[in-house]
Amino acid sequence: MGILQLNALRKEFSSLVAVDDVSFEADSGQVIGLIGPNGAGKTTLLRMLATLLPPTDGTAVICGADLRKKPLLIRRSIGYLPDFFNLYPDLTLRECLDFFARAYHIPSSEVAGRVEAALKTVALDSKKHSLIRHLSRGMVQRLGLATLLVREPTVFLLDEPASGLDPMARIQLRDILRRLAREGKTIIISSHILSELAGFCTHLAIMNRGQLVMYGSVEDIEQQIAGQQAVRVKVLGEATQAEAVLREIEGIEIKTADDGTFTLICPGGPEAVAQVNRRLVAADIPVVELARQKTSLEDLFMTLSVEKNMHIS
């Protein structure tokens, strides 16, 4: 059983179905990118998981506790950062985190250590005596994340955390989230800007009009959508012979060829890649590089939007 299981989770507002029977499962160390156009139901879903909105139907189990039966117990295990939040501007960073730690009943003997550790994790330890009002937008976002870190939650629910950040601040935020994932934390992060999620999500949950259109690892979704993969092959010499061998392989298309380096379009799955390597080696052609090329999240989402007739606002 995973850290988080959603079972037909549903939220209705009068006649509007904001979240329509969403089910998926997440485990330790996974970073789930919750993506979709504006109005897809992402924020409503996160607010239900954060126990701030009661579901109309269905439920979720978070760290072994049922969302409908034990919401207060779940709050001990989660850290929720909404898209807009306020911190006390006349507190220093250290005072702010001290306040949050004590508000969540962290033992007094542990508060100072947790505050220092959280500030170091978000690279704000040099600012601990500064007033919050003097921070940049990116620093405030990182401090918001630190208010969760002092509690050491198991599950992080982050709603558009990179919104409004400059490129450097986004890179810093991604580095922090990668580190948390390596520590075994489960992270659900929403965004409608796919470039914000590229390169560090392990899984995608794609929503549209309240429904979960697709869920799975990035690689699985890529193959489900495209049914094919791009492969880069580099051979040592024998470029003409290598091209002739590649053209003989059924189902393989040479997209580009440049002095012994080829980009191929292959059927999905590792078998096709293995076949390329096997045929080249059998022809005594030295292979020095053979790797799948990742498809961008934008490419995946745009392909899916056409297939599913999704409305992109």
pLDDT at residue number 193:
66
- pTM, entire model: 0.76
| Domain-located, residue 313 | no
- Please report which confidence band the pLDDT of residue 271 belongs to, taking 50, 70 and 90 as the band edges: confident
Query: Which CATH number is 175's domain given?
Result: 3.40.50.300
Cα(182)–Cα(298) distance, integer angstroms: 25
pLDDT at residue number 163:
76
Domain identity same for 49 and 186? yes
Say which residue, 68 or 218, is predicted with more confidence.
68
Look up residue 306 and give its amino acid.
V
Domain identity same for 205 and 288? no
| Domain-located, residue 304 | no
Domain identity same for 157 and 40? yes
Q: How many CB atoms lie within 10 A of CB 162?
A: 21
| Domain-located, residue 308 | no
Q: How many domains does the chain have?
A: 2
Mean pLDDT across 159-166 = 82
Of 217, 250, 278, the domain-final residue: 217
Domain that includes residue 190, residue range: 4-217
| Domain-located, residue 25 | yes
Cα(132)–Cα(134) distance, integer angstroms: 5
- What lies within 8 Å, CB to CB, of 31 at 6+ separation is 177, 178, 181, 187, 189, 200, 201, 202, 203
Domain identity same for 181 and 266? no
Give the DSSP letter string of 116-183: HHHHHHTT-GGGTTSBGGG--HHHHHHHHHHHHHTT--SEEEEESTTTT--HHHHHHHHHHHHHHHHT
